[in-house]
Structure 1
């Protein structure tokens, strides 16, 4: 199933119960903010049996930069450009993103058009940091062009910094890797140009850690003691 066509049997047995959680009459769902993973998008389409479309935008662009066209069931992208603005990708050589990349051009997403804001109130310096002399707003997001003019968000430029040895780091990518560990609920990565290594502040998932300790027969008085147990640390790092 893909959410495109209704199934009388599966709707009656499973999906109608899920649809009732939202009232049972939902015909359309939209998503913005951070990009949805293709798995989540497909899951929503199947469970709710309706159009689930994703958009991309900023406050500075009057919200919509691009949106998925109605009837487009391909997941993993944020659609085609809003007719009210132009979009181009600008090379980011320090992150190895260029318009010559194969099979798809990649770069920082820049937007221009009548829907773009005129500037920050009494903040000329900050405005010049995001809008260049040709009127292009630099979003700080990294995208690539897919076939049929679809835009896909793949990275973030503004949240990068250089370590002492000259290495560029995108902390969000590192954080996303660590949060895939079932023991980790949140992770914050920090670094600066005066040091050669990163610092991670990690919060554990208490229930998962407690269930693991019970399965291993580990006794402890509190969560802090369990976190300091070498066996727990080994399990998290494995």
Structure 2
């Protein structure tokens, strides 16, 4: 028996596909939420100062971020957070990485993580002669390690609820061993000073000189370079992250005069000489000093004075704990830890590895089936039930992300020129949240929480719970709060996540941070009537 398609059959199929396309195009012009929600995304202050726009706050939390609480205990520092959650979620999977041979994900539970955190912290105190909470170089730990292309976060809130997973993909996420060190430092009261793995030599020397670092954690691939670069500097102790637990660096110690210990040996030293975390950690204690660097520079330019002028952003425990409500940025791992989540790290990939096996990298994503994907990236309607989704996009979603992807975070550049948000939304049928971030605000300060897809691609949404925002006149560049149809000016923000200042640089701090706590972002914005901000340009006005 054979089936023949008649002219009527072709006509009916053409009509069906045409009607579906028209419906998709028509619906694509409209938002997914009621217009009243899109038209009122921020709280506006009733008082307006001349030369400034009205102050806008989060519509959800107009009085600021609520106090972080675990059980019946308030959380004020990262030390308290890690101690509380590592003790509570004891048998939950916390950190995992794929094995070198079988490529299976090997997990560490929360209870094992607490033991390892204590051992690494104790080893740093004993071996590197460090002291917690001194607010000086004797508490500083530099972290200069190779990176991984991905970190996947997954957690289950209740037994009756489905798994929720994060997939966080960017080039400056640390390897799992580096995360252990960072977590141990914050748990015990030491200060982390991360250095980008692709940083040029002048930037590394600047950070070491500016902070007078004595202890530096490095990846073994950086060891030879660091030995030559930092000879004669303040650095005395090198902690090497490697795969060989019995590595012997005695020859290099004699040749260069450094104390060199692999991380495995440091952990054993800590197990033999246990030290409890410091109880002097307060909300204003320094947690990290983050130095900006131009990662696009591959070759050092001796004539470029900006090569060694990066500023150390001082972030306190209060900054990072409050920023947990902002989800992204430096505190993503702490956020996941707080909710009892799991973090899985991808295989180690060096920054300049051009022969990367992409399918091998993506296989981990398929295995873990993340539901939230966050990417630092340059940046329509959410379409999930159309003919294109059934024929093409659903297969992409299943093969790349395991089928569970539900949300994507994009941290865009200041003035985006592309619109990957619409592409991701169409292809993967997921909600896309775009953020506006600065190291000085600990995390993202604005996020598009609801979507009006007809808006300009440069819109970044309302302020988050911990942030208040306003625009200040930049008359020399023609931006004022009295501009029509909407106020324009430099974006200023204030809140508990705004940094304490720049390390050892009071003039630079006073140039961007007012005595009343307002921080000048250096970005020109336009305040839309619905309470969202449109990014226009980067201010050229000298600070």
Q: Is TM more than 0.5 here?
A: yes
Structure 2 match to 1:66: 446
1:140-174 deviation per Cα after TM superposition (whole angstroms, max 9, x unaligned): 0000011310111110014x68xxxxxxxxxxxxx
Within 2, Cα distance between the matches of 1:59 and 1:83?
17
| Cα distance in 1 between the residues matched to 2:467 and 2:419 | 29
Relative contact order higher in (CA < 8 Å, ≥ 6 apart): 2
- Displacement after TM superposition at 1:5 (Å): 4.0
CA 1:94–1:71 in structure 2 vs 1: closer, same or farther (change >3 Å)?
Answer: closer
1:158-177 to structure 2, matched below 5 A, reads 158=540
Closer/same/farther in 2, CA of residues 28 and 155 from structure 1, 3 Å limit: same
Say whether 1:21 aligns with 2:400.
yes
What SS class does the counterpart of residue 52 from structure 1 fall into?
strand
* Whole-Å separation in 1 of the counterparts to 2:432 and 2:518: 30
Corresponding residue of 1:12: 390
> In the aligned structure 2, how far is the partner of 1:15 from the partner of 1:147?
35
Match status 1:79 vs 2:461: yes
- Given that 1:31 and 1:54 are in contact with CA atoms closer than 8 Å, whether structure 2 keeps it comes out as yes
Q: 8 Å contact 2:442–2:497 — kept in the other structure?
A: yes
With over 3 angstroms needed to count, the CA separation of the structure-2 counterparts of 1:22 and 1:74, relative to structure 1, is farther
- Give 1:55's aligned residue: 435
- Whole-angstrom CA distance in 2 between matches of 1:112 and 1:89: 12
RMSD: 2.1
1:1-238 → structure 2 map (5 Å cutoff): 1=28, 2-19=380-397, 20-35=399-414, 36-37=416-417, 39-70=419-450, 72-75=452-455, 76=457, 77-158=459-540
SS at match of 1:148: coil
Alpha-carbon shift at residue 41 of structure 1 (Å): 2.1
Quickly say closer, same or farther: Cα 1:62–1:43, change in 2 above 3 A.
same
Normalising by structure 2, we get a TM-score of 0.28
| Range with bigger deviation, 4-13 or 34-43 | 34-43
**Contact 1:87–1:109 under 8 Å retained in 2:** yes
Structure 1 unmatched ranges of 5 or more:
162-238
Structure with the greater alpha carbon radius of gyration: 2
Structure 1 or 2: larger strand share? 1
Name segments (4+ residues, structure 1) moved above 6 Å: none
* 2:479–2:489 Cα contact (<8 Å) kept: yes
Distance 2:403 2:529 in 1: 35
- Determine the C-alpha separation between the residues in 2 that align with 1:42 and 1:97: 29
Pairs aligned (count): 160
**Deviation at residue 37 of structure 1 after TM alignment:** 4.5
Runs (5+) with no aligned partner, structure 2: 1-27, 29-379
